[in-house]
Amino acid sequence: MGIPQKSLVIGACEIACHYPELSLNDAAGDALQLAEKIRLCGIEENQKKETVFIAACRFVSADKDLTPQKAIEKALRLWDIIEA
């Protein structure tokens, strides 16, 4: 299972709210790019996948210089810290 549509919309909204100069299509594209990169990470647990996605969207929306890959890595580190 991929990222649920509800979370994709929330993630795109998070990005769009912080970057009003982006079109909704661009914000959705950024969210979909993050979702695809997370899919390629091979995370099997759906809750972890969705949580990492939302966190990565928030990290990207807070720092426009942060790459999608770095945002995902940061979200995964945060997951590991909380899980420990």
So what's the pLDDT on residue 67? 94
Encode pLDDT of 9-30 as tens digits: 999 999 999 999 999 999 999 9
Q: CB 77: neighbour CB atoms within 10 A?
A: 11
- Provide the pLDDT for residue 59: 97
| Total domain count, the chain | 1
**pLDDT tens per residue, the chain (84 residues)?**
689 999 999 999 999 999 999 999 999 999 999 999 999 999 999 999 999 999 999 999 999 899 999 999 999 999 999 998
Alpha helices in 1-84 (DSSP H): 5-18, 24-40, 46-62, 68-83
Name the residue range of residue 46's domain: 5-83
How many alpha carbons fall within 13 Å on the CB side of residue 19? 23
**What pLDDT is recorded for position 1?**
67
